[in-house]
Amino acid sequence: MTQVAENSPDVVLLDIDYPSLSGLEVGRKIIRHFPGTRVVMLSANPYDNDAELFEVIKTGAVAYLRSRHCTAKDFTDTIRRASNGEYPINDSVNSRPKVADRVLRQFQEISSIGRPLKDITAPLTRKELQVLTLIAEGNSNKQIANLLGISDQTIKNHVSAILRKINANYRAHAVFIAIRDGLISIQTGQDTGYQESSSAQRHAT
């Protein structure tokens, strides 16, 4: 933590320290206290582990790599993408349907608590709500671009605007806030994506 405070790195690599998972707590502290630093979690776990990936997602880390199955190219590409503001962890989630389902179910459970609206700083546009709904349905940026007939870069711009407006750190966090605060609904996502959300309109006033 001291080194992060003194050097303000763009990206930090952390060993999860399987099986104790103590590295996850360090990651949480870095993300909480140094939001400008992006955390990439490395795991020595030799097996696919949905529970481990789920815990990494909850820390807010931008990427998750299993070191025993990671090539030098995968490693360097992930670091480059993280430093460029991307979230390679979304690739891990999209390739693991059970994890994606678990993340969404937890978001829905938290949303049922009915916490007050507090994270939204600006109303989302109709297009941003549409993009956010498609993200919640598990689509990648490329898939969303194909569905909407616009460029990947335009989708990235929309995602960046969404994160900024609702004070989200990454895509899954944005989905959590949106479901919790009633901006979108998984059950009726297609309708929500194409119509102005009443919640979003409330925030505009």
What's the pLDDT tens digit per position in 60-73? 788 889 877 788 99
CATH of the domain at 83: 3.40.50.2300
**DSSP H stretches of helix in 149-195:** 152-165, 171-180, 189-194
Give the side-chain half-sphere CA count within 13 A for 149: 0
Domain count, the chain: 2
In a domain, 171, yes or no: yes
Q: Side chain identity at 182, as an amino acid letter?
A: G
Last residue of a domain, one of 76, 95, 114: 95
Q: What is the pLDDT of residue 150?
A: 92
Together in a domain, 61 and 112: no
- Examine residue 101 and state whether it is found in any structural domain, yes or no: no
pLDDT confidence bin for 40, thresholds 50/70/90 = very high
What is the mean predicted confidence (pLDDT) over 98-114? 59
Adjacency order of strands within the sheet including 11-15? 11-15, 38-43, 63-66
Mean pLDDT of 114-128: 63
> Does 87 lie in the same domain as 8?
yes
pTM for this predicted structure: 0.53
User: Are 88 and 150 in the same domain?
Assistant: no
Q: Which domain holds residue 114?
A: 106-204
For residue 164 the two structure tokens come to 């900024």
Q: By three-state DSSP, how is residue 11 classified?
A: strand
What does the alpha-carbon distance between residue 150 and residue 152 come to, in Å, rounded to a whole number? Answer: 7
Identify whether residues 66 and 130 lie together within a single domain: no
Same domain flag for 111 and 200: yes
Between 2-6, 75-79, 81-85, the lowest mean confidence (pLDDT) is in 2-6
Of 31-35, 107-111, 161-165, which gets the smallest average pLDDT?
A: 107-111
The model's confidence at residue 204, banded by pLDDT at 50, 70 and 90, is very low
What gap in Å lies between CA 181 and CA 28, rounded to an integer?
23
**Cβ–Cβ under 8 Å, residues 12 and 24:** no
Percent of the chain with pLDDT over 70: 76
How far is C-alpha 24 from the geometric centre of its chain's CA atoms? 16
Convert the pLDDT of each residue in 149-180 to its tens digit. 999 999 988 998 888 788 777 788 888 888 87
